[in-house]
Structure 1
């Protein structure tokens, strides 16, 4: 008896949630020629360099985050991008801000533009929330961890951004000063943050 017929390239995409990176497609048995055929026929579309999805899927709500999370699954959304996710900034991120471990290479993408930051092991691993955007897993720092990170990187993103985020956090979340201070200690900004926290208690 002969075995089951191999899946078509389109069926392989559907079996993998409709989205594949180039390397995943090749490993699944789709040749580069077949991949480009699918693209040229309009059956798949390139979300970003090396990332493809079926064209008939519902539109992606946040293609930039999906592209970055798919390319760098271990990275964590941080700073202004995390503030925007949590709704505690009026800034519009012009880059996707992501954190990587200190020994990791800084991320590079043609599109969307990314800004990478190296975090120490302890600071990188703490305060991560797991979310999903269009069925793509994405790691994001919690509001409290993000506030501490913003004070730590205040010279890069601006102290006014950090202070605005703290104010909006107080208005929109149940404030957790003890948890914020734990992250402030971790990020070595406790002495800087404490006066602003105590002023709002």
Structure 2
């Protein structure tokens, strides 16, 4: 494997490669040498990435997790609802699916009932990738639903940021909250902030 083919492989895989994907000792040495030169970064044992891939935190969700939906922290970040920097990519899938994830990038899977994957989801191009992502109102409702997991401070920040947006749709927000069974909790949050 010459240096060009290491870069080609990295680009095909979104900028990441594992030593398990390297076929010979010579290829491994070229990989290690590229890391020493600063062309690659060692993420953890056996996982390397192009520096440009680290700058772009969006991944080809459809290739890695077909029909996966960006949600929670990834959606908070995209919609500008939180200052939290996602430490992983949050992807929702049908609760009955089994998915094998790569070593890198780090992905947190959320297993949702099929009916919860049928509303509040839009297709969008982000950083050159076509992805499915929860829409603005669904993202806020998910923050309320997962408030104990993400923390009440993050949930509050998401709601506060949402209320400052000109394109908010409060009636749609209430509709989604009803479906997700968080309408009473959401109403309480909204009453304290309006």
Give the Cα separation in 2 of the matches to 1:62 and 1:122.
Answer: 35
* 1:197 Cα deviation after fit: 2.3
For the aligned residue pairs, the C-alpha RMSD in angstroms reads: 3.8
Give the Cα separation in 2 of the matches to 1:192 and 1:62.
Answer: 37
Q: 2:16 maps to what in 1?
A: none
Q: 1:87 maps to what in 2?
A: 80
Q: 1:189 maps to what in 2?
A: 182
CA contact (8 A) 1:97 1:116 kept: yes
Stretches of structure 2 lacking an aligned partner (at least 5 in a row): 14-21, 35-39, 44-49
Q: 1:160 maps to what in 2?
A: 153
* 1:172 Cα deviation after fit: 2.5
Q: 1:178 maps to what in 2?
A: 171
- Whether 1:140 and 2:133 are equivalent positions in the alignment is yes
Per-residue CA distance 1:64-84 (angstroms, 9 max, x = gap): 422444211310000111010
- Whether 1:169 and 2:162 are equivalent positions in the alignment is yes
TM-score by length of 2: 0.70
Q: How does 1:1-201 map to 2 (within 5 A)?
A: 20=12, 63-105=56-98, 108-201=101-194
CA contact (8 A) 1:106 1:116 kept: no
* 1:121 Cα deviation after fit: 1.3
Aligned length: 174
Stretches of structure 1 lacking an aligned partner (at least 5 in a row): 1-9, 14-18, 22-31, 49-54
- Range with greater deviation from structure 2 (190-199 or 59-68): 59-68
Using a 3 Å threshold, how does the CA distance of structure 1 residues 86 and 131 change in structure 2: closer, same or farther?
A: same
